[in-house]
C-alpha cells in the first residue's frame, strides 16, 4: 500500500469517508406546516400559494417568504379545534384506577424511518422489501402517517444510520480505560467471490463489563497476502484512533498470518505501542486448534462412525420408516422420543459427537431394527463396535464441553481458557497410558498438534489464570506438575517472570501518567520556608559546582524502599485463593479490588479481555452469508459492511429479536388442526 504525499491529498475509498456522501445526498427536512397546508399551483409558475386545510384561507408560499407566517396562522386558526384521533393512542400502562387512558401521540417520520432501517438490518431483509405491497399495507395500518419510501431511500437511510453509529462507537473506543484486544479472520463469499476481512475489537469498559464490536467487515483487494492484510489492519486502527491502544490480536492457523503479525509488530515497535516486545501480542485461535486435533483423530475411527452416519441417514430418509422407529422406541423401549437421532455435518466434528451420543441413547432400538430390517443390517454394529463408540463418545465429551465454553456467544474472559485447555491436555496424556489400545494411534496424532499449541500459548493462558482469585499460582503449579512432574518448576518460573515484566510495564505507565498530571502543580507548590532557606542560609555551601548529592540520595531512598516493599502482584499472590469451584464474576472481583490493586487491576482489565478464539469474527461470516445471498449479490461492499457492522452495534445496545414476544397472543395456539 503506497502512501500519498501530504501536498497532493488523494481521496481514498477507505471504509470511512465513502459513507459521508450518503449524508450529503439527504434531502432537506420538509417543514411540518405542510402536514396542515396544501400547495396550490398558479398560472404564473414563479408564484406559489398555500391553502389552510382547516379554514381554506390562501397564503403566499414563495420559498423566499419562508413558512413562519404559515405556522403563525396555524397556531391561531379558529377552525383548527378538533384534534385528529390519529395523534392519540391508548397508553400501554393503565391509570391508577386501572382504566386505560388516551395519551398524546406525535408521529415522528425520522424515527419511523430509523425503525424501518433497524428492521431491514437486523432481519437481513432486502431493501426491496419496503416496495412490497404487503409491507406498505402493513405500514399504512400500523402508522397511517408514514410515507412510503423506495429501496434506494432505504439503502441511503441505512448508510446514514451506519455513519452516525460509527461515530458513536468511535467515541466509545476513545473512552476505553485500558487497552483493546482484536480478533481477525478472512472469509470468501461464494456468490460474489469477494474476500472479506472481519476485525472485531474486545475490551473491558469503565463499568468492568466485557464488550465487543465489529469495526471492519470490508472487501479486500488482491493479493490476499500477509503484507496487504497488515496494511488493511493498520489503516483500520488508524481510522478508529486506536492504533496505540492494542494489546493483542487473535488469529486462526492461516500461513499468511505469520507475515502479517511480524509486520504489525515492527510497526508497533516503531511507535512504542507494544508491551513486553510482543510476547503477549499474538494468540492462536484455541477453538480452531481443537477442531484440527479432533478431526485428525476421528479420521482413524472413520469406519465405525461411517456405519452410524449411514444407518441414521437410512432411517431418516423415509418418513414412514422414521415414524415406525420412534413408535418402537416409545412403546417397546419407553424412551423419550423428543430426543431425536442426530445426523452430523461431515466437516464439523462437534455434530459428529452429537450424532454418536444420540446413537448410544437409541442403541437398543437400533439393534432391534437391525434384526428386523434386512436393508439396515449393513449398518448394524457389533457389541465390540458399540463398546468402541461408547469409549470414543466419552473421550470426545471433554473436547465438546471445552469447545462449547470457548465458542459461547457470551464470550468468556481469558481466565477460563487455561482450565479447559489443561483438561484436554490431561485427557490426552491419560488416554495414551490407558487400557484402550485402539485409541493410542489416534491420540498420539492429536498430541502432536496439541503440544505445539501448548508450548506456544500456555504462557498467556497461565498468566490469565493466575489473575483469577480461585486459581492464582497454586492451581497453575498443580496443573504443570501433573503434566511435567519435577520439571514443572521451570515452566512456572518462566510464566511468573513474564507476568512480573508485564506488571512492571503497567507500573511504569501508571507512574508516568500520574507524574504528567501533577508536574505543573509541583512547580508552584514550593514550600516558602524551604525557598527562603535556599536563598539566605549561610550553611548552604556549593562543594561541587552544579552537582547536588541530595538528588542522588533521594533516588537511592526511593529505590531502597521499592526493593523492600512488596509489589501489588506479590501481595495478591500471597493471599489465600477462593474456593476452586465457586461461581464468581472475575471482572466484578477486580472492579472491587481496583482501589487496593491499582496497577494490577489495570493489567487484569487488559489481560482478561483477550479472546482465545476467533468465534466473534467467524460468527460474523454466518451473518455475511445471510446478507450476501444469490438475490443480493450485487450489493456494494460498503453497503455490506454497513449492514453487518450496524447489526452488531444495534444488538450491543440491547436490541433483541425477542422484543415483545412475551406479549404475543398466539404463542400457544395449536395450528396442527388447521386445514390448508
- Classify 292 as helix, strand or coil: helix
The answer to whether 567 touches 510, Cβ cutoff 8 Å, is: no
- Whole-number pLDDT of residue 1: 42
pLDDT at 451 over 60: yes
Task: Tell me the per-residue pLDDT of 281-299, one tens digit each, with 9 for 90 and over.
Answer: 888 877 777 777 787 767 7
What are phi and psi for residue 550, nearest 5 degrees? Answer: -65, -30
Q: Give residue 551's pLDDT.
A: 66
What whole-number distance in Å separates Cα of residue 133 and Cα of residue 155?
A: 18
pLDDT value of residue 351: 86
**Res 8: pLDDT:** 41
pLDDT at 81: 60
Q: What is the pLDDT of residue 521?
A: 43
Burial class (CB in 10 A: 0-12, 13-18, 19+), 217: buried
Task: Name the band, by pLDDT with cuts 50, 70 and 90, for residue 275.
Answer: confident
CA–centroid distance for 573 within its chain: 31
Dmax over Cα atoms in the chain, in whole Å? 115
Please give the residue that has the higher pLDDT: either 672 or 366: 366
- In DSSP notation, 206-237 reads TTS-EEEEEEEEEEPPSP-SHHHHHHHHHHHH
Q: pLDDT tens across 94-134, in order?
A: 555 555 555 555 678 888 999 999 999 988 899 999 999 99
Residues of the chain above pLDDT 90, percent: 32
Mark 508-547 as b/e (b = at least 16 C-beta within 10 Å): eeeeeeeeeeeeeeeeeeeeeeeeeeeeeeeeeeeeeeee
Interior/surface letters 375-408, b for 16+ CB within 10 angstroms, e for the rest: ebeebebeeeebebbebbbebbebbbebbeebbe
Residue with the larger pLDDT of the pair 27 and 596:
596
Return the higher-pLDDT residue of 416 and 491: 491
Rg of the chain taking only CA atoms, in angstroms: 34
User: What does pLDDT average to over the chain?
Assistant: 79
To the nearest whole percent, how much of the chain has pLDDT over 70?
77
Phi–psi pair at 636, nearest 5 degrees: -70, 145
Residue 174 is predicted with a pLDDT of 94
Q: C-alpha cell of 633?
A: 449479490
pLDDT band at 153 (very low <50, low <70, confident <90, very high): very high
Each residue's pLDDT tens digit, 486-539 = 888 899 999 999 999 999 999 988 887 765 544 444 434 443 334 333 444 434
Q: What is the pLDDT of residue 528?
A: 36
Distance, CA of 569 to CA of 602 (rounded, Å): 12
**pLDDT given at position 7:** 42
pLDDT of residue 552: 67
Per-range mean pLDDT, top range of 75-79, 88-92, 208-212: 208-212
Evaluate if residue 664 carries a pLDDT over 70: no
Amino acid at each position: 500500500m503506497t502512501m500519498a504525499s501530504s501536498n497532493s491529498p488523494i481521496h481514498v475509498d477507505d471504509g470511512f469517508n465513502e459513507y459521508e456522501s450518503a449524508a450529503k445526498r439527504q434531502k432537506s427536512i420538509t417543514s411540518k406546516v405542510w402536514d396542515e397546508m396544501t400547495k396550490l399551483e398558479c398560472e404564473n409558475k414563479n408564484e406559489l400559494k398555500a391553502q389552510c386545510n382547516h379554514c381554506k384561507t390562501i397564503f403566499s408560499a414563495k420559498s423566499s417568504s419562508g413558512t413562519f407566517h404559515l405556522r403563525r396562522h396555524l397556531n391561531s386558526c379558529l377552525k383548527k379545534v378538533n384534534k385528529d384521533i390519529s395523534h392519540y393512542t391508548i397508553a400501554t400502562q393503565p391509570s391508577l384506577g386501572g382504566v386505560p387512558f388516551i395519551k398524546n401521540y406525535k408521529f415522528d417520520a425520522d424515527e419511523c424511518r430509523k425503525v424501518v432501517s433497524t428492521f431491514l438490518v437486523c432481519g437481513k431483509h432486502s431493501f426491496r422489501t419496503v416496495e412490497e405491497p404487503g409491507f406498505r399495507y402493513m405500514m399504512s395500518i400500523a402508522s397511517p402517517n408514514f410515507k412510503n419510501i423506495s429501496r434506494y431511500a432505504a439503502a441511503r437511510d441505512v448508510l446514514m444510520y451506519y455513519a452516525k453509529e460509527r461515530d458513536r462507537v468511535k467515541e466509545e473506543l476513545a473512552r476505553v480505560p485500558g487497552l483493546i484486544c482484536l480478533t481477525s479472520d478472512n472469509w470468501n463469499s461464494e456468490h460474489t467471490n469477494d474476500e472479506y476481512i472481519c476485525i472485531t475489537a474486545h475490551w473491558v469498559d469503565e463499568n468492568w463489563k466485557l464488550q465487543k464490536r465489529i469495526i471492519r467487515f470490508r472487501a479486500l483487494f488482491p493479493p490476499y497476502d500477509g503484507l496487504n492484510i497488515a496494511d488493511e489492519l493498520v489503516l483500520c486502527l488508524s481510522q478508529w484512533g486506536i492504533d496505540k491502544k492494542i494489546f493483542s490480536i487473535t488469529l486462526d492457523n492461516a500461513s499468511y498470518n505469520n507475515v502479517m503479525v511480524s509486520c504489525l509488530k515492527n510497526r508497533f515497535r516503531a511507535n512504542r505501542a507494544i508491551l513486553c516486545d510482543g510476547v503477549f501480542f499474538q494468540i492462536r485461535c484455541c477453538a480452531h486448534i481443537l477442531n484440527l486435533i479432533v478431526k485428525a483423530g476421528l479420521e482413524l475411527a472413520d469406519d465405525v462412525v461411517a456405519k452410524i452416519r449411514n444407518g441414521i441417514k437410512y432411517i431418516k430418509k423415509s418418513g414412514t420408516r422414521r415414524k415406525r422407529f420412534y413408535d418402537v422406541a416409545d412403546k417397546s423401549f419407553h424412551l423419550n422420543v423428543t430426543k431425536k437421532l442426530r445426523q452430523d455435518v461431515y466437516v464439523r466434528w462437534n455434530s459428529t459427537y452429537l450424532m454418536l451420543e444420540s446413537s448410544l441413547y437409541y442403541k437398543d432400538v437400533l439393534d432391534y431394527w437391525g434384526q428386523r430390517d434386512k436393508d439396515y443390517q449393513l449398518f448394524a454394529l457389533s457389541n465390540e463396535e458399540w463398546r468402541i463408540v461408547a469409549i470414543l463418545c466419552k473421550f470426545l465429551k471433554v473436547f465438546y464441553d471445552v469447545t462449547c465454553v470457548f465458542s459461547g456467544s457470551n464470550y468468556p474472559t481469558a481466565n477460563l481458557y487455561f482450565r479447559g485447555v489443561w483438561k484436554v491436555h490431561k485427557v490426552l496424556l491419560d488416554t495414551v497410558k490407558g487400557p484402550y489400545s485402539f485409541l493410542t494411534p489416534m491420540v498420539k496424532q492429536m498430541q502432536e498438534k496439541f503440544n505445539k499449541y501448548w508450548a506456544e500459548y500456555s504462557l498467556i493462558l497461565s498468566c490469565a489464570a493466575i489473575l483469577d482469585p480461585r486459581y492464582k499460582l497454586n492451581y497453575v503449579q498443580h496443573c504443570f506438575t501433573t503434566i511435567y512432574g519435577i520439571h514443572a518448576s521451570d515452566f512456572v518460573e518462566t510464566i511468573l517472570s513474564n507476568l512480573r515484566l508485564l506488571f512492571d510495564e503497567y507500573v511504569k505507565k501508571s507512574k508516568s501518567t500520574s507524574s504528567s498530571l501533577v508536574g505543573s502543580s509541583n512547580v508552584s507548590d514550593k514550600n516558602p520556608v524551604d525557598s527562603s532557606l535556599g536563598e539566605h542560609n549561610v550553611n548552604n555551601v556549593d562543594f561541587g559546582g552544579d552537582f547536588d548529592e541530595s538528588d542522588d540520595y533521594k533516588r537511592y531512598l526511593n529505590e531502597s524502599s521499592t526493593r523492600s516493599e512488596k509489589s501489588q502482584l506479590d501481595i495478591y499472590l500471597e493471599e489465600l485463593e477462593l474456593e476452586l469451584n465457586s461461581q464468581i464474576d472475575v471482572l466484578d472481583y477486580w472492579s472491587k479490588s481496583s482501589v487496593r490493586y491499582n496497577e494490577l487491576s489495570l493489567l487484569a482489565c487488559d489481560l482478561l479481555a483477550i479472546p482465545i478464539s476467533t468465534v466473534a469474527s467467524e460468527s460474523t461470516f454466518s451473518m455475511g452469508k445471510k446478507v450476501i445471498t444469490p438475490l443480493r449479490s450485487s450489493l456494494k461492499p460498503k453497503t455490506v459492511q454497513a449492514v453487518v457492522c450496524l447489526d452488531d452495534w444495534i444488538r450491543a445496545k440491547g436490541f433483541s429479536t425477542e422484543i415483545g414476544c412475551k406479549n404475543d397472543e398466539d404463542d400457544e395456539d395449536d395450528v396442527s388442526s388447521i386445514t390448508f
